Structure 1
Amino acid sequence: MMQRLLPLLIVALVAGGCPRHAPAPDAPVVTVALEGAPATLDPRFALDAYSSRILALACPGLLRIGADGNVEPALARAIEFPDNQTIRLPLRQGLRFHDGQPLDATAAARSLNALRDPAIGSPRAASFDAVSAITVDRDAVLIRLREPFAPILAALTAPLVSPSQATAEHIDVPAGAGPFRLARSQDPDEILALRLDASARNDDVDRIVFRTIADPVARVFALETGAADLAQNSVPAGELDHLRNVPGIRITQQPGWNTSYLGFNVTVSPLDDARVRRAVAAAINRERIIRVILDNTARLNGSLLPPQHWAWADTAPPGYDPALARRWLDAAGHPDPDGDGPAMRFELEYKTSTNPERLRIAEAIAADLAAVGIAVRIRSLEFGTFFDDVRNGRMQMYSLTWVGITEPDLLYYALHSASIPPAGANRGRFRDAETDRLLAAARHTLDRNRRRALYQQAQRRLAWLVPVIPLWTSDTIIVQSERLTPFVPRPDGSYAGLADLRLRGAGS
């Protein structure tokens, strides 16, 4: 059942407890069920999904990811390009941080410069490597670049904090400029959000409770009984049909922005041979996994980028073709030792987490590979241990998911040779000069059509070299109470859209 996790509380002026029973139908309270607790409330260091998504309510940035996945103004009122190495962001007027300090261009520049400061040590600093200076130009923040660098706009979605906290050694409770502010609670399972806007309509949601329910069965039960009102991508696919039959629950499904993939350590034999990796791709029956295990909540994809992304290349995902897989293995020098007999060509180790759904997927992939003569030994590890092994190259094969994919420079971060950990997330140690050239050129090209062409060339090359196998892109699944207006998810998965929720039937 529920684990006892980090106590956190988001409040306006005072901290209060949260009832564990279902709220009254007209109560201005929404309870959101989470799989895990945020790692930190310090926006300068918050990179995990739970922290980042909740902090979006309290600490927005100058820019944000819009509904179409593109960067758009947030606290800034416009994006201006005086030249191809300068970005000017004029701020909206009348903004204040939660501690009362004005949010002007000087305060915003101070917050961004803190992220670049080696003394602070923010993991976001690398995103600003191309920046030579962040200064103030009247009512605007001025970002000067050493060279044209297209991904800088995504970096400028970084959360802002008050000048009183920007350079602090540690931020316990951040003072941002969003519609909700944060504070801590003695309750170990919940995070609470209270609306700050005194002029809010009376059908607004005044309070949001983020409740960590690690057990998926308990999470489904909370939604079923009304103890939770909303869950985003945290209900097991196999439970959706059951919840569709529960009165008062609405389920929405739409194309998502999270791509799951099978990764390889391409420095170890036999995975250092692209023919073996192509064989693995051809041996996996992804359509069956999507249908049977994922309950048709994902879509086949041949790229790490989602199909609706502006830079996506229509690289057809490898079809299920065991005969082709066997031919690739033969060509790579791994013949079947006994024809239809039980002997395997070789063995691979597949590391994954202890998540039950991930384990079922690993077992399905292992069965498919065994059918073409590849034995698979599955190792299921606690996520922290598993991820540490992957990051440090202590694996042969593994599966993970890239979430909220909006900036195509992800391909550089994940597959350029300069991004081998700790510099990036090229965990399989993949190296290819032509891929490097294409991805480097794309990040230094501001023209979107030219960037698209470069990224599409890179994706087609990657589809042939197979450093990773994109498995599918998951749909975004929202399970919510019908007492609320529909929650509109963001491509980056943030909960900022909760500020727009209304209570159905309440007066205005």
Structure 2
Amino acid sequence: MTRPPHTPATGHRPVRAAGALTAAGLLLASSACAVANTDSGGGSGDTVRIALPEEPPTLEPCDASLTATGRVTRSNITEALTERLPKTGELEPALATNWERSSDTTWTFTMRDGVTFHDGTPFDAQAAAFSIDRTVDSDIGCNVDGYIFGDSELTAEAVDDTTLEVTTAEPDPILPLRLSFVEIVPTSTDTEDKVREPVGTGPYKLKKWNQGVDLTLQRYDGYWGEKPAYTTARYVWRAEGSIRAAMVSQNEADVAIGLAPQDGAGDNAVEFLNNETSYMRMDATQAPLDDIRVRRAINYAIDKEGLVSSVFSGLGRPAGQVVPEGVIGHNPDLKPWPYAPEKAKSLIDEARADGVPVDTTITIIGRNGIYPKGSEAMEVVQSSLNDAGLKVEIEMLDVNAWMEYLLRPFPADAGPTLLQAQHGNQAGDAAFTMEQIYGSEGAQSSYGTEKLDSMIEKAEGAEDDARQEAFADALAYQNDEVVRDAVLAHMTGIMALSPDVSYTPNSATNDELRLREMQPKG
């Protein structure tokens, strides 16, 4: 597969936020009690200890495209046929050693020999076909299905133990890339419901999940690849970034992710470019959001430069589209909507004069821990929209409750909502953004149009330069004529890293934290 040059993070650098060390000192003093009460699980060099912002809502392999799930499961517990390298964007062999397009609609994959699942059963083409069918053609509601495949139709057939044929209804030039999101599981896996304790082929297997407390992975001695450095990995979750940062400072954790500059990680802080874009999804089926003037007013009312500089402390860039640079389909001509509060007020007044019920309460559905200072960001958005003449309230939810608003079917009778969301295109192609987020029936889409659907479909069937151009055109049409979102910023990540651990974060770190890339120093 070919793709244009990609510019992900190629390394990392220490954060030098003003007053970071002073803040760290004050933080440790004020939060010592909270940190001291955590169960550190020991600081053995055989165990890497990771502090997460939230507990995974599930470890179901077919939901591994969810950030909170994927950062534990992907490439750790389970693996796919192919694997995209975040640093280069290239597609590499994983459980498949090679693949080729045998017809316009058929791809043939060769399975890797000598691989076993954690339960001791052998991996083969039958398991791969089963996993694809379970992910794409079952009734268990896999997030990967909506995110990666949309309404695509495909069949997977094991020709023999080492040969897999995957056939699509329409030509799909990026099928091997799509399959990098199908986590392979044994044929004994439940097909009627999602699983709590996944079995995979990865370098680690699930040892124990104490719901609400911690989660431990243990190295799988039968792993087909290079043995990872750590025997076990222990995950805990703390909602407060300052607590996670302090855990690393006090040697109660080795890695903490999802931090803000104000969290006081000090010299342990590492800044890196990620692939996340923050945005507000408007439910354009509900008044007053069903009026495009109101949706445009919302975009004009939000000071994205101010949001990035104040709330995000300069970490990030104002954005005009959810597809970032380096992803096929990114439109370089789309700029962030300008901050024009008077224009926003004028559009709201115009809509009001035409009978649009702009005084109807709009609810911002926020998610705790979605990104650093996420609740503060929503307060800024709320204030801006209220100043523009709308009536906006905030409801902050934990991840499981928020998920009900993210994915279809959405809650009934919720009224007009603005969903605080963040999208990371780990795969490097706009196909993994456009249909699920902007298609009329997309898994995360609250609104679409026939024309935009047609543009997306055209782009998905195109190749090379034509694919880039078609997706860029679809993004421009969405921005100019549909205006379903208020895109906020392309984000920058911060993690805290123990001086005893060697790890280089990359653009996928927030979505898949690969344990095999971590090693003890010395």
Q: Counterpart of 1:181?
A: 205
Match of 1:322 among 338, 341, 349: 341
Query: Secondary structure of the residue that 1:272 maps to in structure 2?
Result: coil
Q: Counterpart of 1:471?
A: 488
* Separation of aligned partners in 1, 2:291 and 2:57: 38
Aligned CA distance change for structure 1 residues 231 and 348 (closer, same or farther; 3 Å): same
Asked if the contact 2:322/2:423 (under 8 Å) is kept, the reply is: no
Q: Counterpart of 2:251?
A: 226
**Aligned 1:49-60 pairs, distance under 5 A:** 49-56=67-74, 57-60=76-79
* Separation of aligned partners in 2, 1:36 and 1:288: 28
Q: Following TM superposition, by how much is the alpha carbon of 1:180 offset from its aligned partner in structure 2, in angstroms? A: 0.9
1:439-494 superposed Cα distances (whole Å, 9 cap, x missing partner): 1111223x132111111001111111311111112113222112111233452744
* Separation of aligned partners in 2, 1:86 and 1:72: 19
Q: Following TM superposition, by how much is the alpha carbon of 1:218 offset from its aligned partner in structure 2, in angstroms? A: 2.8
Query: Secondary structure of the residue that 2:69 maps to in structure 1?
Result: helix
Query: Secondary structure of the residue that 2:243 maps to in structure 1?
Result: helix
Match of 1:378 among 389, 394, 397: 394
Task: Tell me, yes or no, if structure 1 residue 163 matches structure 2 residue 183.
Answer: no
Task: Provide the TM-score with structure 2 as the length reference.
Answer: 0.79
Q: Counterpart of 1:207?
A: 232
Aligned CA distance change for structure 1 residues 53 and 355 (closer, same or farther; 3 Å): closer
Asked if the contact 2:156/2:164 (under 8 Å) is kept, the reply is: no
Query: Secondary structure of the residue that 1:181 maps to in structure 2?
Result: strand
Asked if the contact 1:22/1:226 (under 8 Å) is kept, the reply is: no
Number of aligned positions between the proteins: 465
* Separation of aligned partners in 1, 2:211 and 2:142: 28
Task: Tell me, yes or no, if structure 1 residue 191 matches structure 2 residue 215.
Answer: yes
**Aligned 1:304-453 pairs, distance under 5 A:** 304-314=322-332, 315-332=334-351, 334=353, 346=359, 348-353=361-366, 355=368, 357-389=373-405, 391-392=410-411, 394-405=414-425, 406=427, 407-409=429-431, 410-419=433-442, 424-427=443-446, 429-430=447-448, 432-445=449-462, 447-453=463-469
Task: Tell me, yes or no, if structure 1 residue 96 matches structure 2 residue 116.
Answer: yes
* Separation of aligned partners in 2, 1:279 and 1:20: 49
Query: Secondary structure of the residue that 2:215 maps to in structure 1?
Result: strand
* Separation of aligned partners in 2, 1:176 and 1:451: 34
Q: Following TM superposition, by how much is the alpha carbon of 1:142 offset from its aligned partner in structure 2, in angstroms? A: 1.0
* Separation of aligned partners in 1, 2:415 and 2:177: 31
Task: Tell me, yes or no, if structure 1 residue 243 matches structure 2 residue 256.
Answer: no
Q: Counterpart of 2:129?
A: 109
Aligned CA distance change for structure 1 residues 49 and 235 (closer, same or farther; 3 Å): same
Asked if the contact 1:132/1:144 (under 8 Å) is kept, the reply is: yes
**Amino acid in structure 2 at the alignment position of 1:222:** M
Asked if the contact 1:260/1:399 (under 8 Å) is kept, the reply is: no
**Amino acid in structure 1 at the alignment position of 2:216:** L
Task: Tell me, yes or no, if structure 1 residue 504 matches structure 2 residue 521.
Answer: yes
Aligned CA distance change for structure 1 residues 392 and 160 (closer, same or farther; 3 Å): same
Aligned CA distance change for structure 1 residues 496 and 467 (closer, same or farther; 3 Å): closer
* Separation of aligned partners in 2, 1:369 and 1:72: 46
Gaps of 5+ in 1: 2-17, 336-343
* Separation of aligned partners in 2, 1:153 and 1:417: 25
* Separation of aligned partners in 1, 2:466 and 2:272: 29
RMSD (CA atoms): 3.2
Q: Following TM superposition, by how much is the alpha carbon of 1:103 offset from its aligned partner in structure 2, in angstroms? A: 1.6
* Separation of aligned partners in 1, 2:444 and 2:137: 22
1:361-407 superposed Cα distances (whole Å, 9 cap, x missing partner): 22212222344333433344455445535623624242322333134
Aligned CA distance change for structure 1 residues 396 and 146 (closer, same or farther; 3 Å): same
Q: Counterpart of 2:470?
A: 454
* Separation of aligned partners in 1, 2:119 and 2:192: 15
Q: Following TM superposition, by how much is the alpha carbon of 1:347 offset from its aligned partner in structure 2, in angstroms? A: 5.5
**Amino acid in structure 1 at the alignment position of 2:471:** Y
Q: Counterpart of 2:318?
A: 300
Asked if the contact 2:208/2:217 (under 8 Å) is kept, the reply is: no
Asked if the contact 2:50/2:255 (under 8 Å) is kept, the reply is: yes
Task: Tell me, yes or no, if structure 1 residue 149 matches structure 2 residue 166.
Answer: no
1:294-316 superposed Cα distances (whole Å, 9 cap, x missing partner): 11222111111122322211201
* Separation of aligned partners in 2, 1:88 and 1:166: 26
Greater alpha carbon shift after TM alignment, 209-218 vs 276-285: 209-218
Match of 1:276 among 288, 294, 303: 294
Query: Secondary structure of the residue that 1:287 maps to in structure 2?
Result: helix
Identity rate of aligned residues, in percent? Answer: 21
1:343-376 superposed Cα distances (whole Å, 9 cap, x missing partner): x974542323363833322221222234433343
Q: Counterpart of 2:107?
A: 87
Match of 1:289 among 264, 287, 307: 307
